[in-house]
Amino acid sequence: MAQEKRFRHAAVGGMLLLVAATSGCLNQGGGLAPSTLPITERDVYTVIGPAVGTDGTITLFSLPLLPVSGHGAIQEAKSKTGADGLVDVTVENQLYLYPLPIGYYRIKVAGKAIKFQRDMAN
């Protein structure tokens, strides 16, 4: 009985070690941009606040199953805040690995949400 119990404990411990050894996360900087749209010296805008958007998909053997784009992440960040655009933008690529050949790939866009001030006289 004691030997069978030790074997079960060793098997469970081995499985937990396998899960821990094959799981992980990779986070890679994707870039920086001053803004997501052209801003001229005549444009006047207000910073609304911080904005974050993501776009992601499940992966199989680290290959995305569906298309993922920075554009989708920007659109999400803008729609959450009601912004016209983003300034001081950063992009990150994130890959989450699980013990099976399945994972999750995500693009994260962060920046300051802005709203242009429209001249009502013109």
Q: Which residues of 74-90 are buried (b: 16+ CB within 10 A; e: fewer)?
A: bebbbeebebbbbbebe
Q: What is the residue-wise DSSP string for 79-111?
A: HHHT-SEEEEEEEEEEEEE-SSSEEEEEEEEEE
What is the per-residue pLDDT across 64-121, written as a single tens digit (0 to 9) for each?
A: 899 999 999 999 999 999 999 999 999 999 988 877 788 999 999 999 999 999 764 4
What CATH architecture is 23-116?
2-Layer Sandwich (3.30)
For the chain, give every domain's residue range: 23-116
What does the mean pLDDT of the chain come to? 85
Residue 121's pLDDT is 45
Model confidence at 16, in pLDDT bands (50, 70, 90)?
A: low
> In residues, how long is the chain?
122
Residue 56's pLDDT is 95
pTM, whole model, 2 decimals?
0.74
